[in-house]
């Protein structure tokens, strides 16, 4: 249907057109096709969905981990550490002591274990002390020994020096502490296992031990301005419960089974079920 001869395709050798009519190709016209700019294909950006999934998955897990660590850190810092104690928190405070209120008290090492607990060497400020720790089920033993220490007239060079009593922890973690002077040579039993004493040392140990036991048994109506000191029976007197100072002066310790004899009052048997056969030979001398 084209009346004019128009070639659109370009060829270096021949031009071709197609028309209809008489002499339609008499006038030949070349009209090359106009082409637009070359379209450059750009690949689509990488799919970010995987990155989003990873980020959205890790963020809550990281936040939860940080929250757990923060909660644990707060718990540990709010709870008093086991090795430190405020020496002023006693449920029934003992008489005033120059050491009360000083802190921290740092537990160092276990020195002995017994039927009612264990004894630690500890450091209170610049001084070493002994900490006897009772489990909560042995509260009666702790209370009895604390009461004996708090008895008037119990300050004597041959009796263990009492510093403070403590109740530590809550519920199932409760522990009961007695804080006393520390003697590095330990008990008479332990010392004799590794050392040989001469005659003078033997006499000194025996004499100071007898002084302490005699003073413990003595009834003193007015003792050093503190009031009446009743007679006290140790009931577990043995070499294991005798400590030694650096000069081998004997010091009586472990008053968990001791009883007081006060006028008009029967002596309380606070440990009626305790097996005393271990200390029978030492106990007979006090009957």
d(CA 154, CA 85): 25
Task: Concatenate the DSSP letters of all residues of 100-165 into one string.
Answer: TT---EEEEEEEEEETTEEEEEEEETTEEEEEEEEEGGGHHHHHHHHHHHTSTT---TTBPPEEEE
- Please identify which of the residues 190, 219, 236, 254 carries the catalytic annotation: 236
pLDDT value, residue 89:
41
> Phi, psi at residue 232, to the nearest 5°?
-130, 130
According to DSSP, the residues that pair with 122 across neighbouring strands are: 107, 129
Q: Which tokens in the block code for residue 119?
A: 């004894």
For the chain, the structural domain boundaries read 105-285
Per-residue pLDDT tens over the stretch 54-109 = 777 777 888 888 888 888 777 665 544 444 444 444 444 444 344 444 467 889 99
On whether the CB atoms of residues 158 and 253 are closer than 8 A, the answer is no
Among the listed ranges 77-91, 154-168, 215-229, which one has the minimum average pLDDT value? 77-91
| Secondary structure (3-state) at 262 | coil
Mean pLDDT confidence for 164-191: 90
According to DSSP, the residues that pair with 74 across neighbouring strands are: none
Per-residue pLDDT tens over the stretch 5-18 = 776 666 656 777 77
On whether the CB atoms of residues 33 and 8 are closer than 8 A, the answer is yes
On whether the CB atoms of residues 184 and 246 are closer than 8 A, the answer is yes
105-285 folds as Transferase(Phosphotransferase); domain 1 (1.10.510)
Q: Where are the beta strands (DSSP E) in the chain?
A: 5-7, 28-30, 105-114, 117-124, 127-135, 162-168, 175-181, 231-233, 242-244, 250-252, 259-261
pTM assigned to the model:
0.59
Q: Assign 33 a pLDDT band (cuts: 50, 70, 90).
A: low
Residues 6+ apart with CB under 8 A from 229: 151, 152, 153, 154, 218, 219, 220, 223
Cα 171 to its chain centre, rounded Å, is 15
Q: Assign 209 a pLDDT band (cuts: 50, 70, 90).
A: very high
If you ran DSSP here, which 8-state letter would residue 75 be given? H
On whether the CB atoms of residues 207 and 188 are closer than 8 A, the answer is no
According to DSSP, the residues that pair with 5 across neighbouring strands are: 28
Q: Which residue has the higher pLDDT, 79 or 50?
A: 50
On whether the CB atoms of residues 146 and 270 are closer than 8 A, the answer is no
Helix, strand, coil % in the chain, rounded to nearest 5:
30, 20, 45
d(CA 218, CA 213): 9
Residue keyed to tokens 């500890």: 122
pLDDT value, residue 88:
40
pLDDT value, residue 203:
97
CB atoms inside a 10 Å sphere around CB 283: 18
d(CA 168, CA 90): 9
Known catalytic residue: 86? no
């Amino acid at each position: 249907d084209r009346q004019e001869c128009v070639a659109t395709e370009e060829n270096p050798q021949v031009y071709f057109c197609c028309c209809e009519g008489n002499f339609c190709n008499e006038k030949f016209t070349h009209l090359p096709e106009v082409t637009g700019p070359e379209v450059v294909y750009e690949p689509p950006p990488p799919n970010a969905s995987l990155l989003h999934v990873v980020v959205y998955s890790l963020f809550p897990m990281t936040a939860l981990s940080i929250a757990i660590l923060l909660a644990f850190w707060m718990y540990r810092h709010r709870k008093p550490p086991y090795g430190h104690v405020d020496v002023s928190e006693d449920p029934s405070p003992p008489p005033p002591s120059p050491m009360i209120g000083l802190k921290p008290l740092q537990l160092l090492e276990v020195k002995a274990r017994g039927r009612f607990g264990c004894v630690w060497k500890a450091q209170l400020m610049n001084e070493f002390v002994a900490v006897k720790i009772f489990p909560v089920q042995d509260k009666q033993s702790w209370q009895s020994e604390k009461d004996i220490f708090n008895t008037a007239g119990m300050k004597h060079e041959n009796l263990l020096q009492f510093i403070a009593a403590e109740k530590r922890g809550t519920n199932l973690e409760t522990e009961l502490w007695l804080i006393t002077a520390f003697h590095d040579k330990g008990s008479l039993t332990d010392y004799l296992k590794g050392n040989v004493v001469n005659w003078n040392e033997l006499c000194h140990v025996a004499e100071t031990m007898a002084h302490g036991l005699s003073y413990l048994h003595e009834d003193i109506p007015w003792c050093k301005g503190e009031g009446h000191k009743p007679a006290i029976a140790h009931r577990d007197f043995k070499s294991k419960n005798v400590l030694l100072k650096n000069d081998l002066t004997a010091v009586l310790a472990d008053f968990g089974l001791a009883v007081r004899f006060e006028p008009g009052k029967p002596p309380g048997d606070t440990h009626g079920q305790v097996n005393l056969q271990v200390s029978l030979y030492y106990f007979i001398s006090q009957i």
